[in-house]
Amino acid sequence: MAEKKKNLDSYIPFQLPSAEKYRIGIVVSEWNDHITDSLLKGARETLLQQGIKEENIVVKHVPGSFELPTGAAHLIRQTPIDGVICIGCIIQGETRHFEFIAQATADGIMRLNLQQPVPVIFSVLTCDTMQQAEDRAGGKMGNKGVEGAISCLKMIAFDQQS
């Protein structure tokens, strides 16, 4: 089990690169929207705290996590952005559907990272229960949307240093 003290959501803002000139895309799954809305809120608030202007945060919704890679690819092609955060929530059910969707989503986002000129961040919860998802969407395990935003900013900075 992860420990809260190891989560990125307890970051120190001045340790992150200045983000005021960045333009960030966020692709959000509508499935389990009470979870993904909370993750989006955490990501958006973190980006704003780091100096990104509201108009430089582009949010697009897709039906489910499986569609996140396609949504991110469209956003990269159609919008000048520095990075994309993919937000979703996949919860284990009674069939193997969970495994297929989680693997396809992870593979799709990883492929985008290798093929696209901007970082694409995997901010998708893959939980056994709704309680685990709630714990990671602003509950006792922090907010993984915050972590997605931090990862995105760090990877943009990393890319610009290269």
How far apart are the C-alpha atoms of 3 and 100, rounded to whole Å? Answer: 28
pTM reported for the whole predicted model:
0.90
- Residue 108 banded pLDDT, cuts 50, 70, 90: very high
Among 102, 76, 100, 107, smallest CA distance to 88 is for: 102
Judge: domain 30-161, CATH 3.40.50.960. Answer: yes
- 30-48: average pLDDT: 96
Classify 8 as helix, strand or coil: helix
Q: Which residues are catalytic?
A: 97
* pLDDT recorded at residue 95: 76
Number of helical (H) and strand (E) elements in the chain, helices listed first: 5, 6
* pLDDT recorded at residue 4: 46
For the stretch 65-98, pLDDT in tens is 999 999 999 999 999 999 999 999 999 977 778 8
For the stretch 112-153, pLDDT in tens is 999 999 999 999 999 999 999 999 998 888 899 999 999 999
- Residue 1 banded pLDDT, cuts 50, 70, 90: very low
* pLDDT recorded at residue 11: 56
For the stretch 51-68, pLDDT in tens is 999 999 999 999 999 999
Burial class (CB in 10 A: 0-12, 13-18, 19+), 147: buried
* pLDDT recorded at residue 6: 55
* pLDDT recorded at residue 27: 98
- Residue 32 banded pLDDT, cuts 50, 70, 90: very high
